[in-house]
Structure 1
Amino acid sequence: MTMSWVSRSFRQRAFSYRFGRICSIDKRIKNLENPLMARPSIDTRPLLPAPIITGADTMAARSTYRRSQGLPDHVLIFTVAGYALVGPAAQPLVQRPGDVLLVEPHHSLDQDTGPGQPWRRIWCIFTPRPHWYDWLDWPVVAPGYRQLHVAEVGRTAPVRASLEAMHRHANGAGRLRGELALNALEAALLWCDDHNPRSERAKLDPRVRRALDYIGRGLAEPLTLAVLARVAGLSAPQLTRLFRNHLGLSPMQFVERQRLQRACQLLALTAQPIGAIAHQVGYEDPFYFSTRFRRATGLSPRAYRVQP
């Protein structure tokens, strides 16, 4: 009787153990099958070299940092406040608020701050993606050094805001923090292009740029030549002449081209009614919109939408 009870108790414990093991294995299998469990949003993978290293710090006045041989990657430094000397002792580059310095690989990163205000900067060490090199064609200020100046350095200024987002992402815990940081750096470089005297946009007359920005923000608004001339601070004939010189189009030809390009996108990518699209791109009369659209594309809006 006693032996039978012991044997039965042993079998029950053995069954419980095996059942627990099976449940544990089954749970692990389900976790592997569930991407939310298998790939947590917090990065727990082994440490690997980061695709970008960033910093947002302050270098005290009367400080010195020496890295005469530079680094094997590119370094970007954006000055928020204060000033410093960066580069070789024979030809240091003065960095003031709004300066964006790009140091190419293996060039001196020696840094010295003066006796006054501390030097506040945002920086990163990175390898440019292949398509970035055209955007990094900044003016050369010394062999191995390129530099731009950005007038706005406040927290909401696009270049600074993008670089701060870069630093925030790079030092976060997300699994894709490196990619997010690189994307924010890419945004900063795109904003920098507005300040690059070598870029096509920077070659535009600033009054033309003001008109272009206004057009881009308000395609649905009544964009007349008089309105655009007032935004640019010019007379209508002066603005027309500048547009033709820079863009090869009159202001109103440019407006119509932008409107119809946007209409093409909305027709191809949304199910909005044609009349609603017409209003969204600045045409009060859907019939007139259809006429202008057909003249530009050779198709009616409806035919354009259903084409393969």
Structure 2
Amino acid sequence: MNGRGLEEETPRDNPGVFISEHYRKGFGYTTFRSNGTDDWLIAFTLSGEGVFEDGGDMFRCASGDLALVPPRLRHHYYTPQGAEWEFVWAHFKPKPYWSHLLRLPVRLNGLMTVRIETPAIHERIRGTFERIIGDSLDMETNWEELCLSALEEILLLVHRQLAVDEKGLQDPRVQSVLERLTADIRRRHSIRELAASVNLSPSRLTHLFKEQTGESVVEALNHIRLRLAARYLRGNDESVGHIAREVGIPDPFYFAKRFKARYGVSPSEYRASFRRF
């Protein structure tokens, strides 16, 4: 029961415009749209409990549950009796190349959900949502592109969780090293420092990292840098040299060579291919 009696249609504020907020709602909060909306909805539960309902079927979401609602899908969600639901959400229209990122496990009639079990991924998604909400409220220059770039990061993190689920829990020491590499990609990381941070010898870290990820530490760092560079190329107009420095590769010629080896085209050609959409 949602505590409201008859279901009332909930209008979508500012249809077609990216919108994101942080809610903490008690019993009596409910949203019902019989025909869904023309855009996508993503919701990530931080604490408490919420319910997505479809007919007699229910999905009760708790901390770490992420729900993705496709366009025009009937949806009804609410805070159940005796509970408080804290969650962050966004309505958005995806980039054309996001189709693979929007394929998540389906629950109920088209509702997609993923449980974010890995603490580091959970915290990073929460922090990224905070940036999205800040940019969407401030509406400063390029705010919507920044929001979409951050939302793409969230979807990539969700797929990282799915990969962890599929392979079994990754060794937390390897996960910690990956988080360190991602958090400070411009740093000149050394195997010795990384190994010491997780109480391993350099040789043991090298072996364990390769065993768990299929890549060496250096290869993983380069791929993290190049993935971030690709996102920058899609989302802003900074020069290729500037982007190379931002991701920790100060030599633009070396950056272009590594980028082409990874993506099959030069950075400029990659950017141009997305500007056609």
Partner SS, residue 107 of structure 2: strand
Of 27, 45, 49, 1:79 maps to: 45
Letter in 2 for 1:211: V
The 5-angstrom pairing of residues 22-101 of structure 1 reads 50-101=16-67
Q: What TM-score do you get using the length of structure 1 for normalisation?
A: 0.54
1:39 equivalent in structure 2: none
Cα deviation for residue 173 of structure 1 reads 4.5
1:186-197 alignment to 2 at 5 Å? Answer: 186-197=152-163
Contact map agreement 1:78 1:98 (CA 8 A) in 2: yes
**Does the CA-based 8 Å contact 1:50-1:178 persist in structure 2?**
no
Would you say the 8 A contact 2:25–2:84 is kept in 1? yes
The 1-side partners of 2:199 and 2:81 are apart by 43
Q: How does 1:167-178 map to 2 (within 5 A)?
A: 167-174=133-140, 176-178=142-144
What amino acid maps onto 2:249 in structure 1?
Answer: Q
Matches within 5 A, 1:1-308: 50-151=16-117, 157-174=123-140, 176-197=142-163, 205-214=171-180, 217=184, 220=188, 222-224=190-192, 231=197, 239=205, 241-248=207-214, 265-268=249-252
Shift in Å, 1:113? 1.8
Q: CA deviation at 1:70?
A: 1.9
Deviation of 1:146 after TM superposition, in Å, equals: 1.7
**Percent identity between the two aligned chains:** 24
What is the TM-score with the length of structure 2 in the denominator? 0.59
Separation in structure 2 between the aligned mates of residue 112 and residue 164 of structure 1, nearest angstrom: 22
Secondary structure of the corresponding residue to residue 70 of structure 1: coil
Q: Give distance in 2, aligned partners of 1:144 and 1:65.
A: 17
Given that residues 195 and 202 in structure 2 are in contact (C-alpha distance below 8 angstroms), is that contact kept between their aligned partners in structure 1? yes
**Does structure 2 retain, via aligned residues, the 8 Å contact 1:153–1:160?**
no
What is the CA-CA distance between 1:83 and the residue it aligns to?
Answer: 0.8
Q: How much has 1:215 moved relative to structure 2?
A: 5.4
The letter for the 2-side match of 1:266 is P
Q: Is the 8 A contact 2:16 2:38 kept in 1?
A: no
Aligned partners of 1:136, 1:80: CA distance in 2, in Å?
21
Report the 3-state secondary structure (helix = DSSP H, G, I; strand = E; otherwise coil) of the residue aligned with 2:19. Answer: strand
Q: Which runs of 5+ in 1 are unaligned?
A: 1-47, 271-308
2:181–2:221 contact (8 Å) kept in structure 1: no
Q: Which has the higher strand share?
A: 2
Return the alpha-carbon distance in structure 1 between the equivalents of residues 61 and 101 of structure 2.
21
Name the CA shift for 1:52/1:221 in 2 (closer, same or farther; >3 Å).
closer
* TM-fit CA distance, 1:234: 6.2
Offset at residue 61 of structure 1 (A): 1.1
CA distance in 1, matches of 2:103, 2:126: 20
Whole-Å Cα distance in 2 between the matches of residues 134 and 199 of structure 1?
18
Tell me the CA shift for residue 250 of structure 1. Answer: 5.8
Residues 232 and 137 from structure 1, CA distance in 2 versus in 1: closer, same or farther, beyond 3 angstroms?
farther
User: Relative to structure 2, which stretch is displaced further, 82-91 or 63-72?
Assistant: 63-72
Aligned partners of 2:214, 2:135: CA distance in 1, in Å?
42
> Are the equivalent residues in 2 in contact too, given 1:77–1:122 (CA < 8 A)?
yes
Residue identity matched to 1:69: N
